[in-house]
Amino acid sequence: MKIKKPKYFSSFSLLEKELAKQNYSKIFVLVDSNTRQHCFSKLLSFSKNIIIIEIKPTDEHKNLISCEKIWQTLSAENADRKSVLINIGGGMICDLGGFAASVYKRGIDFMHVPTTSMAMCDAAIGGKTAVNFANAKNIIGTFHQPKQIFICNDFLKSLPKRELISGLAEVMKHALLNNDKKILNQLNEIAVDDLDWKKLVKSSVEYKMKVIEKDFFEQNIRKLLNVGHTFGHAVEAALMHDEKKKLLHGEAVAMGFRFEILLAIIVFDLKLDEANFVLELLDKYFPIIKFSSTEKKKIIALLKADKKNQNGKINFSLFKKIGNAKIDCFVSEEKIEQLLKAF
Footprint of ligand NAD on this chain (CB under 6 A)? 32, 34-35, 38-39, 57-59, 62, 89-93, 95, 115-116, 118-119, 122-123, 126, 128, 137-138, 155, 158-159, 163, 166, 248-249
Is the CB of 120 or the CB of 322 nearer to ligand NAD? 120
In a 3-state reduction of DSSP, which class is residue 17?
helix
Rounded to the nearest whole angstrom, what is the least distance from the CB of residue 269 to ligand NAD in the complex?
A: 29
Please, are residues 146 and 112 in contact by the beta-carbon 8 Å criterion? yes
Rounded to the nearest whole angstrom, what is the least distance from the CB of residue 85 to ligand NAD in the complex?
A: 16
Is the CB of 50 or the CB of 114 nearer to ligand NAD? 114
In this structure, how many other beta carbons lie within 10 angstroms of the beta carbon of residue 320? 16
Rounded to the nearest whole angstrom, what is the least distance from the CB of residue 119 to ligand NAD in the complex?
A: 5
Rounded to the nearest whole angstrom, what is the least distance from the CB of residue 151 to ligand NAD in the complex?
A: 12
Rounded to the nearest whole angstrom, what is the least distance from the CB of residue 184 to ligand NAD in the complex?
A: 20
Is the CB of 96 or the CB of 263 nearer to ligand NAD? 96
Is the CB of 125 or the CB of 318 nearer to ligand NAD? 125
Is the CB of 58 or the CB of 309 nearer to ligand NAD? 58
In a 3-state reduction of DSSP, which class is residue 215?
coil
Residue least distant from ligand NAD (Cβ): 91
8 Cβ contact list (under 8 Å, min separation 6): 151, 152, 202
Q: How far apart are CA 283 and CA 98, in angstroms?
A: 33
Q: How far apart are CA 288 and CA 318, in angstroms?
A: 20
**Within 13 Å of residue 234, how many CA atoms lie on the same side as its CB?**
29
Backbone torsion region of residue 242, taken as left when φ is above 0, otherwise alpha when ψ lies between -120 and 50, otherwise beta: beta
Q: How far apart are CA 284 and CA 192, in angstroms?
A: 9
Rounded to the nearest whole angstrom, what is the least distance from the CB of residue 166 to ligand NAD in the complex?
A: 5
Is the CB of 154 or the CB of 333 nearer to ligand NAD? 154
Q: How far apart are CA 148 and CA 141, in angstroms?
A: 19
Is the CB of 166 or the CB of 315 nearer to ligand NAD? 166
The distance from CA 322 to its chain's CA centroid, rounded to whole angstroms, is 21
Rounded to the nearest whole angstrom, what is the least distance from the CB of residue 272 to ligand NAD in the complex?
A: 29
Is the CB of 102 or the CB of 138 nearer to ligand NAD? 138
Per this entry, what is the length of the chain? 343
32 Cβ contact list (under 8 Å, min separation 6): 54, 55, 56, 57, 58, 61, 89, 90, 92, 93
In this structure, how many other beta carbons lie within 10 angstroms of the beta carbon of residue 29? 25
Rounded to the nearest whole angstrom, what is the least distance from the CB of residue 334 to ligand NAD in the complex?
A: 29
Q: How far apart are CA 173 and CA 178, in angstroms?
A: 9
